[in-house]
Amino acid sequence: MERAPRQATCNLDWAYLGRMPYTAASRLQQALSAALVNGTGRPTLLLLEHSPTITLGRRSSSDEILVPREKLAKLGVAVVATSRGGGTTYHGPGQLVGYPVVDLGRLSLGARAYVLRLAHALQRTLRAHRIDTEWSDEHPGLWLARSGQPEKIVSLGVHVRRNIATHGFALNVQPELAAFEMIVPCGIQGSRMISMASVSGELWELPALASEVAASVAEALGLAPREVPPEHMTLATDFDTR
């Protein structure tokens, strides 16, 4: 996997936003993306949890959802079609979701190199907690580095338009893994989703883990992490552009 650049060139503003509906996070990404396009935004990383949501990527098929939509509605699980790459996945409490909104042109990165940088950052974070993972070109994401049934711990899927990358990654910290039984994760039959908690038996405070992830992502992109108040993320024009 490609090495991260050694020297940070500017800041990556980040905040942990707690639990947020998927559609609200999507609107926030759109606003931050527009700010980058018009020159008033900054490289930004949103870190958060979602309310229970099944998302459909550009390669999803209808048979990847195993539960009738009516039952999902009764369970309070939203279903949302997205513009990101990849297949079907689940988001919910206990999963740390990251949405970097960055200009790949300014980072001198193509889409594939960018995704690999994100994977490297999460691999580094997991390794710090004694969890070794492997990247798969065939099935993009991070998989547990042990034999047996394929076990996925990180999902990645991005969207790039006008050189601006949105969407990002989902790290299974301690979600309810039974929720993934509602879908065929990423359309890969025979695989299963795992979490940091299921591997190690430990539990984490997500805000603290978010700080580790932000530092790793910033380093992988050649940026310096700068934590900002969460309320700054709710206004795409409310940034210090110095």
- How far, in Å, CA of 221 to CA of 102, rounded? 10
Cα angle, residue 100 at apex, residues 110 and 130 outer, rounded to 5°: 95
Whether 186 is catalytic is yes
- How far, in Å, CA of 211 to CA of 15, rounded? 8
The count of other CB atoms within 10 Å of the CB of residue 172 is 24
**Paired strand residues for 133:** 144
Cα angle, residue 227 at apex, residues 224 and 228 outer, rounded to 5°: 130
- How far, in Å, CA of 130 to CA of 196, rounded? 10
Closest of 92, 97, 90 to residue 54, by C-alpha: 90
From the list 56, 126, 131, 186, the catalytic residue is: 186
Catalytic residues: 186
